[in-house]
Amino acid sequence: MIPVELTLTPESGGVSSLARQIKLSGRAYPLFEVAGLVMQKPDRYTVGFKVIKRRDEAIKKDVPVQPLFVCSLDDTLWLSEAAAAEHAIKAHFDTFYQTQKMPCDPPKGVWTLVAQCGMTGELLGPPNFHGYQEKLRKLHTERFSRMNFDAFKSRVKIVKDEAIVKQWTESVSFRFEYTALNVPEPKVLQSMEEVRAHFAEVHQPSIIRQVDSFTPKADSKLPAPLQTLMRVSLDKEKRFPIRIATALSGTFASMGLQFFKRDKTVVHVAVARPHYLDVENSVVSETTKKIIDHINTNAGTNRKRLVETLAPSPAPAEPAADGTPVASPLTAEQQTVLNDLHWLIHQGHVIEFASGMLETAKKPAPRPTPAPKAPKKSDKPAANAEAAAPAPADTTAPDASSSETSETVAAADIAATLAQEAPAEEAQAEGSGTEPAPSAEVPPATEPPASAA
């Protein structure tokens, strides 16, 4: 594989829509599932290429292992400056040069046969013609450089047809001249070799540039090694979208979304990190307490079952005259339940997963008390006497934060965390509980308003 790094960037508009949906719904989504949705369609991400550098001790500088070059005329990417220049000449020849067909004397002598390429049909001329070997080598270099020259030569056939011989005679009875355009003084060039030399001297420095990274157009043609790299990398990414997930994590974090690990394995993105709510020691409404109690005692419950349990719907209204059922509006009690549930979710006290399942943030396990360190031995008598003296009582209050274990995931650590995940683990974790993560905020001291939405 060519030593070039492939980069994948989610489309910014799509990421903004995803973040908006997560904030509005309040649900927690597995980051890898979101990345998988992005990888489903090519228009949801862009592909770029970046050079890999190594240290050159001779010049004390980092140099690219495989340099990259861009043709500014059409923003195409190439692996060498010569390839980029050749592309510019072929694709944009009329921009820089004007071709003129000039008559010349036909070759003298009587010609009864000509050589013809068996693969392209191009006429090479009689084998004893003075330009035959040069034309044969040129065709091999330009069209069949990967083929062994002797194998290519064996595909050349000798044709004795008079019409074919006449066609070759007419083709060498004129020559081409090339007039340089877009230059202060017009210049006439006699061959393509002179054209290439002129282009390299006059136009190439301003048209071909070396880059460290580049994102080509979606429909841009790439060199074969880069096409292979892109195909293999995209196949891997569709199976395990680590690069897209890493890029999404940084963008989501900048938009205010939070991350946590479920069962210490699967990274989820949500509006808030899990934050345990102690309803016994916090001043909260009775509805909030009932919501927490229902979720804790009914594993796998969802929003609909919660509302129907705490605030049952009244008897359905009679259908309309045409038989269409009439939808019953939400009662005041149901709206209160939904408002309190919305507050709990956005504070991280309740997690609503993508499947609709509700869970409460679990109480963090206290940190174990560290064992006292043994006193160090000292050879100095003064130190021994000082160690024998009673130590002053420690009046410092214990750190309240030491009783909680943080399982939240910082945005800077997402890449390392995602690399440890596997698709199988993600699928298995979906049916398990949520690993809590303490937040810097404390439970509310007052009852949340019923209209908190």
Give the residue-averaged pLDDT of 60-70. 93
DSSP β-ladder status, 350-353 and 27-30: parallel
**Residue 128 pLDDT class (50, 70, 90 cuts):** confident
**Would you state the pLDDT for residue 167?**
86
Q: Report whether pLDDT(144) > 90.
A: no
Mean pLDDT of 98-102: 86
Closest CA to 268 of 254, 249, 251, 240: 249
Parallel, antiparallel or unpaired: strands 4-10 and 45-51: antiparallel
Q: With a cut of 60, say whether residue 350 has pLDDT above it.
A: yes
pLDDT in tens, 243-281: 999 999 999 999 999 999 888 888 999 999 999 998 888
Model pTM?
0.66
Give the chain's mean pLDDT: 81
Minimum mean pLDDT range among 213-217, 226-230, 310-314: 310-314
Helix, strand, or coil (residue 211): strand
Of the pLDDT bands very low, low, confident and very high (cuts 50, 70, 90), residue 424 is: very low
Tell me the range of 2-16, 139-153, 160-174, 315-329 where mean pLDDT is highest.
Answer: 2-16
Residue 389 pLDDT > 70 = no
Tell me the three-class secondary structure of 47-93, residue by residue. EEEEECEEEECCCCEEEECCCEEEECCCCEEECCHHHHHHHHHHHCH
CB 102 within 8 A of CB 172: no
Q: Which residues contact 395 (CB under 8 A, 6 or more apart)?
A: none
- How is residue 182 annotated by DSSP? S
Residue 133 has what pLDDT? 87
* Cβ atoms of residues 357 and 304 within 8 Å: no
Which pLDDT does position 434 carry in this prediction? 44
Question: Which of 215-229, 308-322, 378-392 has the highest average model confidence (pLDDT)?
Answer: 215-229
Place of tokens 């090694």: 225
Domain residue spans of the chain: 4-82+207-239, 84-193, 263-315+329-365+403-453
Cβ atoms within 10 Å of 71's Cβ, excluding its own = 21
- Which pLDDT tens digit goes with each residue over 177-201? 899 998 888 888 988 889 999 999 9
What CA–CA distance (Å, rounded) separates 263 from 28? 14
The yes-or-no verdict on residue 430 having pLDDT over 50 is no
Q: Which of 436 and 267 is assigned the larger pLDDT? A: 267
Q: What is the pLDDT of residue 372?
A: 79
The per-residue pLDDT for range 47-59, each reduced to its tens digit, is 999 999 999 888 8
Percent of the chain predicted with pLDDT > 90: 47
CB-CB contact of 342 with 268 (8 Å): no
Does residue 172 have a pLDDT over 70?
yes
Question: Which of 309, 304, 313, 272 is closest to 293 using CA atoms?
Answer: 309
Q: Above 70 in pLDDT, residue 446?
A: no
Task: Name residues whose C-beta falls within 8 Å of residue 64's C-beta, 6 or more positions apart in sequence.
Answer: 51, 52, 53, 212
